[in-house]
């Protein structure tokens, strides 16, 4: 994990503007654009937490789910060699390529926790 902050299950990106001499970021993984900034790391953390709290209140007022919803499908670009190996492994296991990729992602994500 790098250049991110966590607060109440929300992820905030972290960047620095040398021109403005300010830290800034946005709340990731939501359908809206919510940004925050601060002149120090402490200020940035406080601004991020305040942005999350304000966003949660706004969502509650508008009866809206705060987290972005996902369709469950996405495109992935990999090398042709890796693609071929994945198809071969899926065939040998008697499952579809989608099932193989889903199981690989589940295995990786579960090992991160």
Q: Residue 87: what pLDDT?
A: 95
Q: Where are the domains of the chain?
A: 4-61, 80-112
Share of residues in the chain with pLDDT > 70 (%): 98
Q: How far apart are the first and last CA of the chain?
A: 12
**What is the pTM assigned to this prediction?**
0.74
Q: Residue 24: what pLDDT?
A: 97
Q: Tell me: the pLDDT tens digits for 18-69?
A: 999 999 999 999 989 999 999 999 999 999 999 999 999 999 999 998 988 7
pLDDT at 85 over 70: yes
For residues 17 and 7, is the Cβ–Cβ distance under 8 A?
A: no
* Coil, strand or helix at 37: strand
């Amino acid at each position: 994990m790098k250049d991110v902050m966590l607060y109440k299950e929300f992820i905030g990106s972290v960047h620095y503007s040398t021109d403005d001499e300010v830290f800034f970021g946005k709340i990731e993984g939501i359908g809206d654009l919510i940004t925050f900034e601060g002149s120090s790391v402490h200020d940035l953390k406080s601004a991020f937490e305040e942005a999350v709290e304000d966003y949660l209140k706004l969502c509650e007022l508008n009866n809206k789910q705060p987290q972005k919803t996902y369709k469950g499908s996405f495109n992935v670009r990999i090398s042709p060699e890796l693609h071929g190996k994945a198809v071969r492994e899926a065939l040998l296991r008697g499952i579809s390529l989608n099932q193989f990729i889903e199981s690989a992602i589940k295995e990786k994500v579960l090992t991160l926790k």
